Amino acid sequence: MKAPNLFVIGAPRCGTTSLFAALKQHPDVYASVLKEPHFYAADLPAQPHTVSDPADYQRLFAVAGDQRYRAEASVWYFYSHEAPALIAKAHPDARIVLLLRNPADMLVSLYELYLRTGNEGD
């Protein structure tokens, strides 16, 4: 079974989407078509597109070729109490890239996003 061996995590609005998009372009990286499956964060509320079935999660990497890295990005792993141990147990040789940002800048960016998407009023 081809399994992920590179995880991109971090707080929202910290660059995970940009990094994941860049990784997708590298020939040595297979990046899951679905960003943010949150498979290992079962202790958190389900997010849109959360994958909870192990077979569905494996299918995210089924078409990976012989690339050196198979990546997935789920920002909420950063907040999960279970995800670190579950990832370490299932993928002991995996690499984890954590993106952080000045919390004040992150909150302003998140607030502006919520304003643009109608999730927050003025």
- First-to-last alpha carbon distance for the chain, in angstroms, is 49
Residue 122 has a pLDDT of: 65
Q: How many helices (H) and strands (E) does the chain have?
A: 4, 4
Does pLDDT of 23 surpass 70?
yes
Residue 81 has a pLDDT of: 97
Encoded tokens for 64: 């990976």
What's the pTM value of the predicted model, to 2 decimals?
A: 0.89
Q: What is the pLDDT of residues 33-74, one digit of tens each?
A: 999 999 999 999 998 889 999 999 999 999 999 999 999 999
Give the closest residue to 72 by CA, choosing from 92, 52, 97, 53.
Answer: 97
Does pLDDT of 1 surpass 70?
no
| Amino acid symbol at 40 | Y
Q: What is the pLDDT of residues 75-118, one digit of tens each?
A: 999 999 999 999 999 999 999 999 999 989 988 988 998 999 88
